[in-house]
Amino acid sequence: MYLSKLFIPITKSLPSEAKIKSHQLMLRTGMIKQSSAGIYSWLPLGYKVMKKIEQIVREEQNLIGAQEMLMPTIQSSEIWKESGRYDDYGEEMLKIKDRQGREMLYGPTNEELVTDIFRSSIKSYKSLPQLLYHIQWKFRDEIRPRFGVMRCKEFYMKDAYSFDLSDEDAKKSYNKMFYSYLKTFDRMGLKAIPMAADTGPIGGDLSHEFVILAETGESKIYADKNICEINLNQYELTDTSLQKMREDFTNIYAVTDEKHNPEKFNKNVKKENQMITKGIEVGHIFYFSDKYSKPMNCLIDDKDGKKTSVKMGSYGIGVSRLVGAIIEANYNNDVMKWPKSISPYDVVIIPSISKNNRENLEKAEKIYNELKKQNIDVLLDDVDENMSNKFKKHDLIGIPYQIIIGSKSEVNNFEFKELNFKSEQLSLDKILKKLKS
């Protein structure tokens, strides 16, 4: 893509409500545009990043055997009346009427809808366990939407649902998701800490929030630093190994505000290991057994032919929130550097050009075509502006690698720079190897 053709409305003036760096950067680099309070359009640059995050989430869900599906955004109120949540959910639910006067709603989550789908087709324990997920827009009429995509009304979420015969089996599904979440966030360059959490309107008695540390986060957290040292590679995708993994994590003190017990914290965690900070919740998992299946009469035959309510859990990842969270974790001193796995482009070519000198642009175009042939997603900055402005702009766009075509270029070697590092002179072959590694 040529930068001059890319729809990327870079802005200099920022609205006063953009208080945190991710919100500011997303507006400045034209990743999003507010449509109304808490509702955003995703412009090409922002959408590209979000799609990459979505793909990592998808791949990791598929790896644990979860099956992707797609449920609608608009749901009927009937199923919510069955579960008892239609009135309980409160003002956050956006209720709508269709032209026949039927009560509908824009789904804030999907426990009821997926239970309804499940109960109409699965009748026997032989079809269990099942793990279903979708990646779909949600709507919550948040009283105070803020921080850009971090807390908005309309947001993109991956939500998965597990169905098992017994509480014991259901915990195995819970452990699988727990593991999958840690791997997912790790692939995005994030250190997410699982924390025992309150269950809120989703319900149940077992729940973990996955939180990344950031001063601008909304969740207050209390943890033993040692939890950050657990190496995920020691576990395998087997029930015993994953049970050990969850025990290893949950044996170390790490909780959100509502679950904090100062006495226990001071008794169990050495002073020098105590971490009291803020974090951003990027995922949340819940085990609630038959909270929905019982009132909704979602029954299956067990091994003895006896009917029993299916045991369920639900597992969410804030896909759109992650875009902001990753910026919070990586944007420092006016330089944004996307982790390679989710960068909007693999590399940007920055030629020094002027009206009288097109030579560098021609060189850049040759490299551009070569990289394209090799399936490298490359951006070419063909805008006629001075190099110092270009560098400032690319510090914000955050593509981690740059090929600079200017005074330092040699015949067959080019200036290659990784953001925040010194540049080096490399042949195109070597550049290709670096980009592909």
Contacting residues toward ligand 5CA, per CB under 6 A: 109, 111, 140, 142, 151-152, 155, 157, 159, 202, 281-284, 286, 314-316, 318, 321
Q: CB nearest ligand 5CA: which residue? A: 318
CB of 155 vs ligand 5CA, minimal distance in Å: 4
Q: Choose between 163 and 315: whose C-beta lies nearer to ligand 5CA.
A: 315
Nearer to ligand 5CA, 108 or 351 (CB): 108
Dist. CA 244–CA 251, nearest whole Å: 10
Pick 111 or 415: Cβ nearer ligand 5CA: 111
Residue 172 DSSP SS3: helix
Q: Are 346 and 401 in contact (CB under 8 A)?
A: yes
CB 122 within 8 A of CB 164: no
Shortest CB 15 distance to ligand 5CA, Å: 19
- Least spacing, CB of residue 312 vs ligand 5CA, in Å: 11
Distance in Å, CB of 61 to ligand 5CA, minimum: 12
Beta carbon nearer to ligand 5CA, 49 or 405 = 49
Query: What Rg value do the Cα atoms of the chain yield, rounded?
Result: 24
- Residues 397 and 405: their CA atoms lie apart, in Å, by 19
Residue 334 gets the label, from left (phi > 0), alpha (psi -120 to 50) or beta, of left
Q: How far is the CB of 280 from ligand 5CA (least distance, A)?
A: 8
Indicate the residue among 109 and 402 with the shorter CB distance to ligand 5CA. 109
> C-beta of 177: minimal distance to ligand 5CA in Å?
10
Q: What 8-state DSSP symbol labels residue 18?
A: -
Cα–Cα distance, 94 to 119 (Å, whole number): 26
3-state secondary structure of 20: coil
DSSP string covering 236-299, please? -SSHHHHHHHHHHHHTS-EEEGGG--HHHHHHHS-GGGEEEEEEEEEEEEEEEETTTTTTTT-E
Q: Which of 348, 336, 321, 280 is nearest to 28 (CA)?
A: 336
**Is the CB of 152 or the CB of 361 nearer to ligand 5CA?**
152
Tell which residue, 132, 141, 140, 94, has the closest CA to residue 113. 132
In whole angstroms, how close is the CB of 23 to ligand 5CA at the nearest point?
Answer: 12
**What are the start-end ranges of the H helices in 94-139?**
111-119
246 C-beta neighbours (distance < 10 Å), count: 17
Both structure tokens of 231 = 């190496």
Minimum CB distance to ligand 5CA, residue 112 (Å): 10
Structure tokens of 407?
A: 């005074």
Alpha carbons 252 and 274: distance in angstroms, whole number? 11
Sign of CA dihedral 185, 30, 41, 201: positive
Distance CA 239, CA 273 (A): 31
CB of 30 to ligand 5CA, least distance (A): 20
Kindly tell me which of 61 and 343 has the beta carbon lying closer to ligand 5CA.
61
Nearer Cβ to ligand 5CA (269/296): 296
Question: Would you say 202 or 347 has its CB closer to ligand 5CA?
Answer: 202
Return d(Cα 200, Cα 304) in angstroms, integer. 35
CA distance 367 to 380: 10
Measured from the CB atom, the residue of 43 and 113 that comes closer to ligand 5CA is 113
Q: Which is nearer to ligand 5CA, 140 or 171 (CB)?
A: 140
